[in-house]
Chain A
């Protein structure tokens, strides 16, 4: 009798357990692979925020055509209704072409008007992203190097005190090196820290040839296709030279601060921004921004980028 009971219980148990297995089984059988070392994508949407370069490179065999524009002062003594809040003037214009040699290596050329004493700028640049943040955080940040060489094509100035008093061709050149360290904190929030080194072969008298600066920038998504972006550069100046320059020109140096909206329309990235910086080239706006948000000397700016892809695999 006891034995019978046990076998009944036993059979029941077996039935129950296998029944339960059948439900879960299929779920457990599927293994979509280890997400380890999966790279974080789209930390930023484009190669730059407002004044700050990001870790983003364009993909291999893609061409990026970008037009940047900075208008005149919105307010202050040079702004207001008489020049239609800056829209009558353009402080700087930059037209650039970038090409993706590899998915993490972009080279580019650009022409900029220039917004300091130095004008007619031709720039060659390179961005190499050598570290990529991973989803599992085993690599917590992405790091890219950005370097550019700029040459001015303007006519040399006769004025010995001018930054454009070029003797040699090399006097026309300036260099920018940046290490861009970025982290995507969540699907909508990313930050970048950008230690920067500038070198200008020739400057106005008693101006710094070399300058270190730290840039910080961030992006916060407000909707699927719109994000708020902001960036700021803190240059480290030699106080004696700074004082000398400010006394002789009668103008103070300010740090570049930009805020803006970034819109992704699918193919086009459109930036609408405000910044006190008049120039767009790093060797100019980091070292020689003399307009101030506090005095109303900030401006509209926009940038339109269009990417073309030449990567078309043959049909299978």
Chain B
């Protein structure tokens, strides 16, 4: 009987230790920023969200990004309304998400500047597509700062631009990401 108790305590300790170890390999970024830029013949459009959420695990290399489409801020509110109502259909598809892996994520345990390939799938407007890009990571005092940029072709995500506004919205939009991760 006593033995069982000891084992349970041991089991509990081990579990909690493991739990801690797990936590220390995962980092969270609250208020990550995602911006995109569309440059067309008649108009440049820029929007930014500072309310994206991200988490990464340097042990497994898993990385996850999520952003509410309605959190993107535009210079012109009418554009923001059109973005949500006509293009992203934010009622139906409220969140855009990236799920991916960081190559050689193990190196991020030590302070330094790194460049690593990140590849995974991006879901926008209900359509999932594979993406890969190079990202930079700066590790200092167990704070990871990450930055990346990549291009998104609107047609790949079934976002259609009516011909009347074709000269105002680019077919390919540049996306920039900045995130600061802490434990």
Interface residues of A (CB under 8 A from B): 2-3, 6-7, 10-11, 13-14, 17-18, 21-22, 25-27, 29-33, 38, 41-42, 59-60, 62, 103, 187, 224-225, 264-267, 307, 309, 311-313
When A and B form their complex, what is the total count of cross-chain residue pairs whose Cβ atoms lie within 8 Å? 108
Contact of A29 among B4, B18, B19, B28 (CB under 8 A): B28
Contact call B77/A17, Cβ cutoff below 8 A = no
Interface residues of B (CB under 8 A from A): 3-4, 7, 10-11, 14-15, 18-19, 21-22, 26, 28, 30, 51-57, 59-60, 62-64, 66-68, 70-71, 75-78, 81-82, 84-86, 89, 91-92, 95, 162, 164-165
Contact call A59/B53, Cβ cutoff below 8 A = no
Contact of B86 among A33, A62, A266, A312 (CB under 8 A): A266
The smallest C-beta distance from A221 to any residue of chain B, in angstroms, reads 10
Contact of A266 among B11, B68, B82 (CB under 8 A): B82
Which residues of chain A come closer than 8 Å to B11, judged between CB atoms? 10, 13-14
Which residues of chain B come closer than 8 Å to A265, judged between CB atoms? 162, 164-165
Which residues of chain B come closer than 8 Å to A21, judged between CB atoms? 19, 22
The smallest C-beta distance from A297 to any residue of chain B, in angstroms, reads 35
Bound together, the chains give a CA A200 to CA B108 distance in angstroms of 76
Q: Known contacts being A18-B18, A41-B84, A224-B86, is A26 close to B7, with CB within 8 Å?
A: no
Contact call B91/A312, Cβ cutoff below 8 A = no
9 cross-chain pairs, A with B, having the tightest CB-CB distances, nearest first: A187-B91, A30-B53, A29-B55, A59-B77, A26-B55, A309-B76, A266-B165, A26-B64, A18-B18
> Most chain-A CB neighbours within 10 Å: which of B10, B52, B75, B77?
B77
Which residues of chain B come closer than 8 Å to A32, judged between CB atoms? 51-53, 66-68, 71, 95
Contact of A264 among B18, B26, B75, B86 (CB under 8 A): B86
The smallest C-beta distance from A102 to any residue of chain B, in angstroms, reads 12
Which residues of chain B come closer than 8 Å to A60, judged between CB atoms? 77
Contact call A27/B64, Cβ cutoff below 8 A = yes
- Show 30 residue pairs from A and B whose CB-CB distance is below 8 angstroms, ordered by the A residue: A2-B3, A3-B7, A10-B10, A14-B14, A18-B19, A21-B22, A22-B22, A22-B57, A25-B55, A26-B55, A26-B57, A27-B64, A30-B28, A30-B54, A30-B55, A30-B64, A30-B66, A32-B51, A32-B52, A32-B68, A41-B85, A42-B84, A59-B77, A224-B86, A265-B162, A266-B86, A266-B164, A267-B165, A309-B77, A311-B75
